[in-house]
Amino acid sequence: MKRMHKFKLQGDLKVLLEQAKSFQLVGDRKELMEMAFGGQQDRFDISYEIPGRGMVKEVEIARCKNGAAVNYPEDYMRRRDPDALLVADENDTDKPRYDDVYNEDFEPIRQETFSWLKERDLLVLPFMAGGKEYGYEALLVAPVNAAFFAAALADLQGFLKPDEVWEGFEPKTVVYLAPPFRHTHFEGKQVVIHNRKENMHEVFSYNLYPGPSAKKGIYGVLINIGEKEGWITVHASTVKVVTPYDNEIIIMHEGASGAGKSEMIEQVHREVDGRVLLGENLETKEKFYLKLSETCELRPVTDDMALCHPDMQRGNRLVVKDAEAGWFLRLDHIKEYGTSPEHEKIFIQPSEPLIFLNMDAVPGATCLPWEHIMDSDGKPCPNPRVILPRRMVPHIVDGEVEVDVRSFGVRTPPSTAENPTYGIMGMMHVLPPALAWLWRLVAPRGHNNPSITASKGMTSEGVGSYWPFATGKMVEQANLLLEQIKASPSTRYVLIPNQHIGAYKVGFMPQWIAREYIARRGGAKFRPDQLKEARCKLLGYGLESLKVDGQYIRKAFLQPETQSELGYRGYDEGAEILYDFFKKELEKFNTEELDPLGRTIIDLLNQNAMLREYLDVMPMKF
**Residues 322, 52: Cα–Cα separation, whole Å:** 45
Instruction: Give the pairing of strands 67-71 and 354-357.
Output: parallel
What pLDDT does residue 4 have? 83
Phi first, then psi, for residue 300 (nearest 5°) are -65, 145
Q: Where in the chain is the domain with CATH 3.90.228.20?
A: 256-291+408-617
DSSP state of 334: -
Closest CA to 234 of 492, 466, 480, 476: 466
Domain 2-229 part of CATH 3.20.20:
no
> Amino acid identity of 369?
P
| Interaxial angle between packed helices 474-486 and 596-606, expressed in degrees from 0 to 180 and rounded to the nearest 10 | 100
Contacts 24+ apart (CB under 8 A), 483-490: 483/595, 484/232, 484/308, 484/318, 485/433, 485/436, 485/437, 485/618, 486/433, 486/597, 486/618, 487/313, 487/318, 488/316, 488/317, 488/318, 488/403, 489/316, 489/433, 489/619, 489/621, 490/315, 490/316, 490/317
Amino acid at 176: Y
Q: What is the mean pLDDT of each run of 10 residues along the chain (622 residues)?
A: 82 95 91 89 94 95 97 96 94 96 96 98 95 92 97 95 92 97 96 95 97 95 95 97 93 92 91 93 96 93 95 91 94 88 92 97 97 96 96 94 97 96 97 98 78 62 94 97 96 97 97 96 86 96 93 96 97 97 96 97 97 96 78
- What is the C-alpha to C-alpha distance for residues 383 and 406, in angstroms, rounded to an integer? 26
Buried b (16+ CB within 10 A) or exposed e, 369-397: bbbbbebeeeebbbbbbbbbbbebbeeeb
Q: What was the pLDDT predicted at 224?
A: 96
Q: Which residues make Cβ contacts (< 8 Å) with residue 193, sequence separation at least 6?
A: 85, 86, 87, 88, 98, 106, 203, 204, 206
- The pLDDT of residue 454 is 47
In this structure, the strands spanning 287-290 and 276-281 are antiparallel
**Distance from C-alpha of 287 to C-alpha of 281, rounded to nearest angstrom:** 6
Rounded alpha-carbon distances, angstroms, from residue 458 to 421, 443, 452, 602: 9, 10, 14, 20
Distance in angstroms (rounded) separating the CA atoms of residues 219 and 257: 14
Give kind and range of the element (H or E) at residue 565: none
Q: What is the pLDDT of residue 435?
A: 98
Entry field: residues in the chain: 622
In three state form, how does the secondary structure of 69-128 look? Answer: EEECCCHHHHCECCCCEEECCCCCCCCCEHHHHHCCCCHHHHHHHHHHHHCCEEEEEEEE
Domain boundaries for CATH 3.40.449 within the chain: 2-229
Contact 364, 43 (CB under 8 A): no
Number of other CB atoms surrounding residue 348 within 10 Å: 15
**What class, spelled out in words, does domain 256-291+408-617 have in CATH?**
alpha beta
| The model's pTM | 0.93
